[in-house]
Each structure stands twice: as C-alpha cells, then as structure tokens.
Amino acid sequence: MDEPASRGPGLIGARTATFVVMANMVGAGVFTSLGFQVAVIHSAFPLLMLWAVGGVYALCGAVSYGELAAAMPRSGGEYQYLSRIYHPAVGFLAGWISITVGFAAPVAAAAMALGKYLSRVFPGANPTTTALVAVLAITCVHLYSVGVRSRFQGFFTSFKLLLIAAFIVGALLLATPQPIHFGPQPGDLRTLFSAPFAVSLVYVTYAYSGWNASVYVAGEVRNPARSIPLSLVCGTLIVTALYLLLNFVFLYSTSMAALAGQVEVGYVAADAILGPRGGQVMGFLISFGLVSAISSMVWAGPRVLMALGQDMRVFGWLAPLNRHRVPYRAVLAQTALVVVLIVTSSFESVITFLGFVLSACAFLTVLGLFVFRWRWPAAPRPYRTWGYPVTPALFLMVTGWMLVFLLRFRPVASLAGLGAVALGIPVYLWAARSAATPPARVASMGDQ
C-alpha cells in the first residue's frame, strides 16, 4: 500500500486510510462479547464461526461501499451516497444523525471506557476527567496538518495491533490449554442455524462496526478510486483475522465456565494467562485500542458536518478550513457535543437507539449500489464490487434480519431512533430553502 503522506500535500495514502478503518473497528467490543456467547453456545467451533461469519458480513459491506466510494470520492460517507442515489433529503437525514449523535455518542462512550480501563492501570485516576482530557488532547491533534494526524493515527493503531499480537503469542506460549475441541463436533451444524447463534451474530456484527470508516474522509485520500476500496478490504480482513485469533486464545486459555456471562472476558482471560497482573496488562492494551478508535472518529465525523456545510447555507459555518485544511469548526462542534455527553453521561441512552439507525443507513447505502447500477449504467466505475450481486445481497439479508430483530425485541429503542431521524425532516425542509448549492446528483458523476 502506498504512503507516506508527504507525497501529495494535504492527502493521506492507502496505509493511513487502512489504519482509520482498523482503528474504528477494534475497540472494546471484541474483549467483552464472548462471555454472552459462551452462555448460550457451548461448543468452540460455532463460537469461532460467529466471528468468521461476522467478518464475511463486514467484508461484503466493505466491497459494496468500495464501489460507491470510488465513483463518488468526496468526504461525507452515507450523506454523500444517499443524497446522490436517492434524494438529498435521504442523505440529509443520514447526515442529521451524524450531526447530532452519530459520531459524538460513540466517541463519548469510547472515552468513558478509556477512563475506566486506565483507572485499573492507574488506581485513583478519575474516569470522567481522563475521558475529557483524552478527547480534548486528541481533538488538538486533529486540528493540525495531515502529517501530524497520520503519524498519530498510525502510531496508536500500529502499537495497538502489536499489543494484541503480543498478547496472542504470549497466550499461546504461556497458557495452559483447555480440554476443548475447535473442530466441528456432533450437533454443531444444528447450532449454526439456531436462534442463539442468530442472536449472538447481531452483537458480533456490532463489534465489526467501523469497516466503512475511510469513506468519511475520502476527500482527503490520495487516489481514492484505488485507496478507499483497498483500505476497506484490507482493514476488514486484518481485523477479521485478529478477532478470530483473539477469540481462539480466549477459549484456548480459559474455561468456558469462567467466561460464561462475563462482560470483561479480556480480563478473565488475562488473569488466567498472566496471573494477578493480567487485568492491568489487559486494561493497558484496551486503552491503546480506544485511543486510536477515538482518534479515527474525531477524524471522520467532522467531515460529514463539513460536507453538509458546503451544501447548505444554514450549516455553512461548519465548512471553513483552517490553514492545515482541517474543518476546524466542525471538529470543535463535535468535540463540544462529546464533552456534554461525557459530563451528563447521556451518551448511554443515546447508544441504545443508534444501532438501529446506523444499520438502516448501511442497508440503504448497499441497496443503493443496485439502484446506482440500474439508474446510471454508464457512470464511471473505477472499482467494481467483488462478487456482485451476491456480496451486497448477502449483506442486505443479514442487515435486514438484524433490523427486524431489533424492531421485534427492542421496539422502544428502535422507534426512538426512527423518531430522532424524523426530527430531521423539518430541519431539512427549512435548510433546503437556503441551500448554497443543491447536492450534486449521480447523473453528473461523469463530470467529477
């Protein structure tokens, strides 16, 4: 993959874009999910298959987004694609969620988790204060040049991956193997098609979320037609391999009875492998993972706000760039909201309905790939989705099933998410009247 950022002023290469994807994906989720899965699935093979299927799902989404990103290489993500493929109103509603809580709430949640994990490493540290300091420090980094941002993101993401790799190798060398079979066992095939497997898959796909992160910064990527699809695919494949190895190590080193029902499976496994100091080691590892995750979201989120500001005069104050070509007002606006969410702890209630809304946005975007090819067959496609139409169809099937599941079993949270989206409709009607320039349609894509 090409780099460094010094080639092409103000632009990042495929390697940094891949770091953004991996940093967004690898947070605390993979260190906390297995305990719930072990409680309802009691065989190692289907447990590992959960993470393999989740990786395939994320990869199907990544290759689908890759075609849209290559054809529409502008920052903004779903706001950009849905505006062009369907209607500016649809794109605005996706952007509306990003403006309000779509990025701010996950950043606040990750920052508070960072504070809690570091308090284990440094007893006495106040989690809220640590969270605020981390967010403000990372925000300052992202107000500077692309070179500073790239090096910061690259360092913390690389160090995180090295720590995870070291933990995996150390576990394989030091742990006492559990009496467990990782190959298919009688009854495993039935488990793969059971309700517990399907329910567990919903939470596994959440752990994989972030596979689309580089599309939000497409306007800052050098040769986006090549680099964005490459970053999406490579980042997703690397994280899938890490997730499979980590969960293999957890099961290899720790009994299922000890893991079952535990939220902090990483700590349980680290204690079994490294002894009493294991919890501190795991806290340090996860903390580094969360720094890079926060950084990638602080980088990506304001680019959606910037795109909205460029298209609509009402939000024009979010569009200006500083001398480092950073949308500084958008960055500061998102950070201000993050600070409010951390101080009030209201991000916890916001997170409950974000899952449904964000899954719906991803569903509409991948569905838009079919619409895009049907309505504009002659539009330039520097990259074509691998495995089309099977890969996007598979993604739509899994996402559609999850949306139905969420509506059925979490109706209040799901409807709250739809209500938050609906609040954006009158805002769009008001803002559209003063649009600086209507968002470009896909019909004009050949002119880009």
> Which pLDDT score is estimated for 206?
79
Residue whose token pair is 């950070």: 335
**Nearest alpha-carbon partner for 139 in 401, 327, 375:** 327
> Which pLDDT score is estimated for 261?
83
- The DSSP element (H or E) to which 367 belongs, if any, is helix 347-375
> Which pLDDT score is estimated for 348?
66
d(CA 118, CA 324): 32
Domain count, the chain: 1
Which of helix, strand or coil describes residue 19?
A: helix
Positive or negative, the CA dihedral 361, 236, 64, 379 is positive
Token pair of 441 as six digits:
């349609």
d(CA 169, CA 437): 54
Q: How far is CA 13 from CA 152, 212, 213, in A?
A: 14, 16, 14
d(CA 136, CA 129): 11
The string of DSSP letters for 233-283 reads HHHHHHHHHHHHHHHHHHHHHS-HHHHTT-S-HHHHHHHHHHGGGHHHHHH
Give bridge partners of residue 221 from the DSSP assignment. 12
Q: How far is CA 30 from CA 209, 250, 258, 295, in A?
A: 11, 11, 17, 19
Residue whose token pair is 């009158």: 426
For residue 438, give the DSSP letter.
P
Whether 379 is covered by a domain: the verdict is yes
> Which pLDDT score is estimated for 22?
93
CA–CA–CA angle 382, 357, 117 (5° rounding): 95
Q: With beta carbons less than 8 A apart as the criterion, state whether 15 and 226 touch.
A: no
Which of helix, strand or coil describes residue 77?
A: coil
Whether 291 is covered by a domain: the verdict is yes
Whether 444 is covered by a domain: the verdict is no
Which of helix, strand or coil describes residue 75?
A: coil
d(CA 385, CA 394): 13
Q: The whole model's pTM is what?
A: 0.86
Whether 276 is covered by a domain: the verdict is yes
Whether 442 is covered by a domain: the verdict is no
Q: With beta carbons less than 8 A apart as the criterion, state whether 414 and 406 touch.
A: yes
Q: pLDDT 10s per residue in the chain (448 long)?
A: 444 333 444 588 889 999 999 998 887 778 878 888 888 898 999 999 999 999 999 999 999 999 999 998 888 889 989 999 999 999 999 988 887 778 888 888 888 888 888 887 788 889 899 999 999 999 999 998 888 888 999 898 898 888 888 889 988 998 888 888 898 888 888 888 887 888 788 778 878 888 999 998 888 888 888 899 999 999 999 999 999 999 999 999 988 988 888 877 888 888 888 887 777 777 777 887 889 889 999 999 899 889 888 888 888 898 899 988 899 999 999 999 999 989 987 766 676 677 788 889 999 999 999 999 999 998 888 999 999 999 999 999 988 988 888 788 778 888 888 888 899 999 888 887 765 444 444 444 544 4
Whether 4 is covered by a domain: the verdict is no
Give bridge partners of residue 12 from the DSSP assignment. 221
Token pair of 315 as six digits:
């939000």
Q: How far is CA 171 from CA 165, 180, 229, 269, 298, in A?
A: 10, 16, 34, 9, 33
* φ, ψ for residue 12, nearest 5 deg: -110, 160
> Which pLDDT score is estimated for 436?
47
Whether 382 is covered by a domain: the verdict is yes
Q: Which domain holds residue 40?
A: 14-436
Whether 169 is covered by a domain: the verdict is yes
Token pair of 300 as six digits:
């990506």
Residue whose token pair is 């689309």: 212
CA–CA–CA angle 28, 33, 35 (5° rounding): 130
Residue type, 191: T
Which of helix, strand or coil describes residue 380?
A: coil
In 376-444, alpha helices (H): 390-409, 411-422, 424-432
Positive or negative, the CA dihedral 103, 404, 369, 16 is positive
Token pair of 383 as six digits:
């990259």
- The burial of 9, by beta-carbon neighbours within 10 Å (0-12 exposed, 13-18 middle, 19 or more buried), is given as exposed
Residues in Cβ contact with 419 at an 8 Å cutoff, skipping those fewer than 6 apart: none
**Nearest alpha-carbon partner for 300 in 236, 207, 215, 359:** 215
Token pair of 94 as six digits:
């996706």
CATH code of the domain containing 184: 1.20.1740.10
